[in-house]
């Protein structure tokens, strides 16, 4: 693995950790948390289908 790939991976991990700390686990479930953190924009149509 190159240095560039490694740094990207570390950034992704850091993002995930930040996200976990700014939003404590709620009763809404993982789909809803992803929705609120902005990842939901990509998963929006999927979530809507799943929630129906």
The residue-averaged pLDDT of 16-31 equals 55
Residue with structure tokens 């850091």? 14
Is the model more confident about 9 or about 38? 9
Report yes or no on 1 lying in a domain: no
The tokens describing 38, both together, are 């902005």
The tokens describing 27, both together, are 């009763």
Separation of alpha carbons 37 and 23, rounded Å:
8
Report yes or no on 14 lying in a domain: no
Give 32-50 pLDDT, tens digit per residue. 555 555 555 555 555 555 5
Predicted pLDDT at 31: 57
Indicate the number of domains in the chain.
1
Predicted pLDDT at 21: 52
What is the full DSSP assignment across 16-48?
Answer: HHHHHHHS---TT-HHHHHHHTTTHHHHHHHHH
Using a pLDDT cut of 70, give the percent of the chain over it. Answer: 4
Predicted pLDDT at 15: 64
Report yes or no on 36 lying in a domain: yes
Q: By residue range, what is the domain housing residue 39?
A: 24-52
């Amino acid at each position: 693995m190159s240095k560039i790939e490694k740094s990207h991976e570390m950034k992704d991990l850091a993002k995930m950790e930040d996200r976990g700390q700014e939003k404590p686990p709620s009763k809404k479930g993982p789909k809803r948390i992803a929705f609120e953190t902005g990842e939901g924009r990509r998963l929006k149509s999927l979530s809507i289908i799943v929630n129906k």
